[in-house]
Structure 1
Amino acid sequence: MDVNWMDFTYLIAALAAAGVAAGILAGLLGVGGGIVIVPVLFSSLLLVGVDPAICMHIAVGTSLMTIVATSLSSARAHHRRGAIDWTLAKRWALAIALGAVAGGLVARFLDSQELSLFFAIVAMAVAIYLTVRKEGSQLFAGLPKGAKAQPIPLLIGFVSSLIGIGGGTFTVPVLSSCGYPVRNAVATSSFFGLLISLPGALTFMASGWGDPRLPPLSLGYVSLLGFVIIAPLTTLAAPWGARMAHVVSPNILRRLFAIFLALTAIKMGYSALA
């Protein structure tokens, strides 16, 4: 595929900026950075002439691969502060990972427009929830336990993998509604991001293997160029966000989370319906 060098330069700059922003958001909000990486990659791939039918798949697959590095860095930073609930992490680990694999498999049968629209709907729904929920309020007395609780992490893993995010988009609201302090919810979701991103990325890689429409330097629906540029920067910036999460008030954290989700939803929804 021929690439205009001006467009290629823009692509490099956009990926670098997305990497830094995604790393900060990963540590600050526990979102794994995908909420930034997916729309930036999607727009950048369109700009350099990648087939629109697979742009969203590559954006999601590459986002998941970069979240592997981001989640490791962010989770380590939160673990040092003792903020991760490891008991919950062990109970949910298998279901989240299985859901991530299922999401990657289902994505193979959807086109870019459908994936973009689904991304927008989910992001806006969560943004609205975070906006209307009163600080300190909770919908449930606590998380369900045992087998009846497993559909929750299974669904979190499935939807997160399907749209290329680390899981914090759903984990933080779910845990908060069950009485978890927002900082602990953010910290624990950073670990869940690893359980979602690794199996999800491998599934997207396998699903796109051999597709003749892929741009150069791709392994299935994972762009090596995107990964090489974004991953080091997200890893570098994630601890900055984690430090901010422990000095910024929970109310501000929630509002920032909602704003980023709403803006992203509008952008992706417009792209899908235009």
Structure 2
Amino acid sequence: MELFYIALLLLSLGVAGGFIAGLLGLGGGAIFVPGLYYILKHFGFHENAMHIAVGTSLLTIIFTGASSAFAHYKKGAVDLKLLRGFLPGVFLGVGIGTLLAGAVGTTILKIVFAASQIFFGSYMLLRVHKTHIFQTMPKQPWFTLIAAANACLATMMGVGGGVQNVTFMTICNVTIHRAIATAAAIGPFIAVFGALGFWYIGLEDTHLPPFSLGYLNLAAFGTIILTSMVFAPLGAMVAHSLPVPKLKRAFSVFMLMIAIKMLSEVFADFSI
């Protein structure tokens, strides 16, 4: 019965994360990470729960993000030139993010995840109807440095960088639908190299759940993608016909709620 309950939770995570991935150009990590974290914590993996959640989320995003990106690509919405411009910074940022994640504990990763969720959730909530700030994307080396910072943060959060990159592109005068589609295509690149990094930094950890390779849990991954791969393209299909500002506002509220819960746990731990 317990295994059935876990499987049901993971399948539900896949539905929610996959649909959000396609709908808003995210990798689904904003759903996967907290969901996996609380499941792992419930079953006694306290010290490394966040690392396993982040690593497994990145592994899942490889496939969920690719499914979402391909759906956007078929609609002709992915800006391939813009995508190529992001990649040098993505590779640099993922490497730095992996090294940092390996050097810190679960509490720090929780703070990074929650603080980032609060920042980007608040931005999405408050600026959802506002226009761009800059006329074009920045020149080099600023483009690469900003892309690297976004990828570094995304790696430590276990997300595809969709919120950061959509925000970055829209304030630089990229249309919202093109930004969402291009961000969806960036996510799998972050996820592939991020997952490899979390596999490596978790190799020496002996307190891992069954079916784990480093900080990648294959059982959770396999269950989640059963539904996320189906619902990611569905989200992408309806993204161009739904009111994106209202959806962003609703999702930003969800992000803030999760972040506040995580931070409250951190403060509670410090007060003990």
TM-score bin (small chain): over 0.9
Give 3-state SS (helix, strand or coil) of 1:53's partner: coil
Corresponding position: 1:139 with 2:133: yes
Q: Which residue, out of 244, 261, 269, partners 1:250?
A: 244
Q: How does 1:18-57 map to 2 (within 5 A)?
A: 18-50=13-45, 52-57=46-51
Q: CA deviation at 1:126?
A: 0.8
1:29–1:257: 8 Å Cα contact kept in structure 2? no
Q: Which residue, out of 10, 30, 37, partners 1:15?
A: 10
- Take 1:18 and 1:267, find their aligned partners in 2: how far apart are those partners? 18
1:27–1:245: 8 Å Cα contact kept in structure 2? yes
Corresponding position: 1:62 with 2:56: yes
Q: CA deviation at 1:149?
A: 1.5
Aligned to 1:202: 196
How many pairs are equivalent? 268
Corresponding position: 1:186 with 2:180: yes
Q: CA deviation at 1:101?
A: 2.2
Q: Supply the AA of the counterpart residue of 2:16.
A: A
Q: How does 1:257-272 map to 2 (within 5 A)?
A: 257-272=251-266
Aligned to 1:228: 222
Q: How does 1:109-148 map to 2 (within 5 A)?
A: 109-133=103-127, 135-148=129-142
Q: Deviations over 1:24-66 (max 9, x none)?
A: 000001110000000010000011122x110000000000000
- Take 2:92 and 2:230, find their aligned partners in 1: how far apart are those partners? 29
Give 3-state SS (helix, strand or coil) of 1:43's partner: helix
Corresponding position: 1:158 with 2:152: yes
Please give the TM-score of this superposition, normalised by the length of structure 1. Answer: 0.94
Q: Which range moves more in the overlay, 208-217 or 259-268? A: 259-268
- Take 1:44 and 1:133, find their aligned partners in 2: how far apart are those partners? 33
Q: Deviations over 1:249-272 (max 9, x none)?
A: 232232133123212212222232
1:114–1:272: 8 Å Cα contact kept in structure 2? no
Q: Which range moves more in the overlay, 144-153 or 24-33? A: 144-153
RMSD, aligned α-carbons = 1.3
Give 3-state SS (helix, strand or coil) of 1:157's partner: helix
1:42–1:59: 8 Å Cα contact kept in structure 2? yes
Please give the TM-score of this superposition, normalised by the length of structure 2. Answer: 0.95
- Take 2:112 and 2:72, find their aligned partners in 1: how far apart are those partners? 30
- Take 2:262 and 2:74, find their aligned partners in 1: how far apart are those partners? 36
- Take 2:143 and 2:65, find their aligned partners in 1: how far apart are those partners? 24
Unaligned runs of 5+ in 2: none
- Take 2:223 and 2:101, find their aligned partners in 1: how far apart are those partners? 24
Q: Supply the AA of the counterpart residue of 1:243.
A: M
Q: CA deviation at 1:127?
A: 1.1
- Take 1:257 and 1:83, find their aligned partners in 2: how far apart are those partners? 22
- Take 2:167 and 2:142, find their aligned partners in 1: how far apart are those partners? 19
- Take 2:155 and 2:164, find their aligned partners in 1: how far apart are those partners? 12
Moved over 4 A (4+): none
- Take 2:231 and 2:118, find their aligned partners in 1: how far apart are those partners? 26
Q: Supply the AA of the counterpart residue of 1:164.
A: G
Q: CA deviation at 1:134?
A: 5.1
Q: CA deviation at 1:136?
A: 4.3
Q: CA deviation at 1:273?
A: 2.5
Q: CA deviation at 1:95?
A: 1.3
